[in-house]
Amino acid sequence: MSELLVGMRLVGLNYRRIQISPPFGLGFGRAEARAQFHFVAKGSVFLRRPGEPDQKLETGSAVLLPHGGAHDLVSEPNVPSREIAAFCAAPLCRTVGDIKECADDVCRSKDVVIFSGCMGFELGSLNPLVAMMPEVMSVATLLDRYPEILPMLEAMEREARGDRAGFAGILARLAEVVSAFVVRAWIECGCGTATGWAAALRDPRLGRVIAAVHRDPGRDWTVADLAAEMGASRSVFAERFLEVTGVTPLRYLTDLRMRLAAQWITRDRVSIEDAAHRLGYGSQAAFSRAFKRVVGRAPGALRAGAYATADAAE
């Protein structure tokens, strides 16, 4: 697990420090399915999600919603919400805005302070685990086992409630680190109730196979090679792999290669030819056919779309 977690990438894209007077309702996650992070620096709020019981978050609470999705932060359960994008945010730095909705423009003792934002969240070659994560991951459940998180939460509380030089950038970095701690803790604790792919990682013999494939995805792997990594016959290995993961070994390898290729092409701006070479394809044409079959788009089209989005954001 430690070896595979090297590929984790969790980067804040758009943060907001929010100072607001009750009653209030803040709506999040309706525009896009990105991971969402919320930290309550002062006061208390309710996390409201469709079809789920409200969850109260007290001062010092932090939650990560790895799948994003529609949800609200409200001062009381029945308060209507207003989409966060509709609030006016003054820029504090490139990725952090400041929202103040205080009674009479003066922050009172009962006002609530929240640091919130959306994140780009990838687990590299571990990306299948993202789909298995719970809808809400709370830091409160980790403090007994991981007490080192507490000083970071206390630092976030101090920075969010003050206006010291550089506080916005510090808050953004702390939010990324706390979120990474949450993800790592979930994986270290056995991935909760996740089955399938996570179960394969917990199986010592299958885990060796998956680790080997992730270390060298461009190798010309055969079922016999993979069975040898497990120390079993080809038939026993193939049957066990399919039983636990739900896919055949070679389908798993192809899917892994295409996930890596998509990340390299869109995020790291690796050329299509270089990606094909790294992943063991004899020609760019063969790689492109496999990519389109798995991803649903040609690698060139995916790259052009990603570059256009990145350029527009800049």
pLDDT, tens digit, for every residue of 158-210?
999 888 888 999 999 999 999 988 888 887 776 665 555 666 777 788 888 98
Query: Which amino acid is located at 10 in the chain?
Result: L
> Could you tell me where the beta strands, DSSP code E, fall in the chain?
9-20, 25-28, 35-42, 45-48, 55-57, 62-65, 71-74, 82-83, 90-93, 96-101, 112-122, 137-138
Cα R_g (the chain), whole angstroms: 22
Q: Write the burial class of residue 132 (CB in 10 Å: 0-12 exposed, 13-18 middle, 19+ buried).
A: middle
DSSP code, position 21: P
220, pLDDT greater than 80:
yes
Q: Amino acid letter at 15?
A: Y
Task: DSSP letter for 283, please.
Answer: -
Average pLDDT on 213-238 reads 93
pLDDT of residue 31: 55
For 279-287, the CB contacts below 8 A with 24+ separation are 279/217, 279/218, 280/217, 280/218, 280/219, 280/220, 287/261
DSSP reduced 3-state for 269: coil
The whole-number pLDDT of residue 260 equals 87
In the block, tokens 């919130």 appear at 116
Render pLDDT for 50-59 as a digit per residue (tens, 0 to 9).
999 999 999 9
- Checking if the pLDDT of 10 tops 90, the result is no
pTM above 0.95, yes or no: no
In this model, does residue 104 exceed pLDDT 70? no
* pLDDT band, residue 133 (cuts 50/70/90): confident
The pLDDT of residue 3: 60
CB 149 within 8 A of CB 30: no
Q: Do domains 4-188 and 197-313 have the same CATH topology?
A: no
Under 8 Å between Cβ of 238 and 248: yes
Q: How far apart are the first and last CA of the chain?
A: 35
Place of tokens 């990682």: 201
Q: What are the structural domain ranges in the chain?
A: 4-188, 197-313
pLDDT digits (tens, 9 = 90+) for 77-100: 999 999 998 999 999 888 899 999
Architecture of domain 197-313: Orthogonal Bundle (1.10)
Residue 95, pLDDT score: 87
Average pLDDT, the chain: 86
- 3-state secondary structure (DSSP) of residue 240: helix
Give the integer Cα–Cα distance in Å for 18 and 34: 19
Give the pLDDT of residue 312.
Answer: 46
CATH number of 4-188: 2.60.120.10
* pLDDT one-digit tens code per residue, 165-179: 889 999 999 999 999
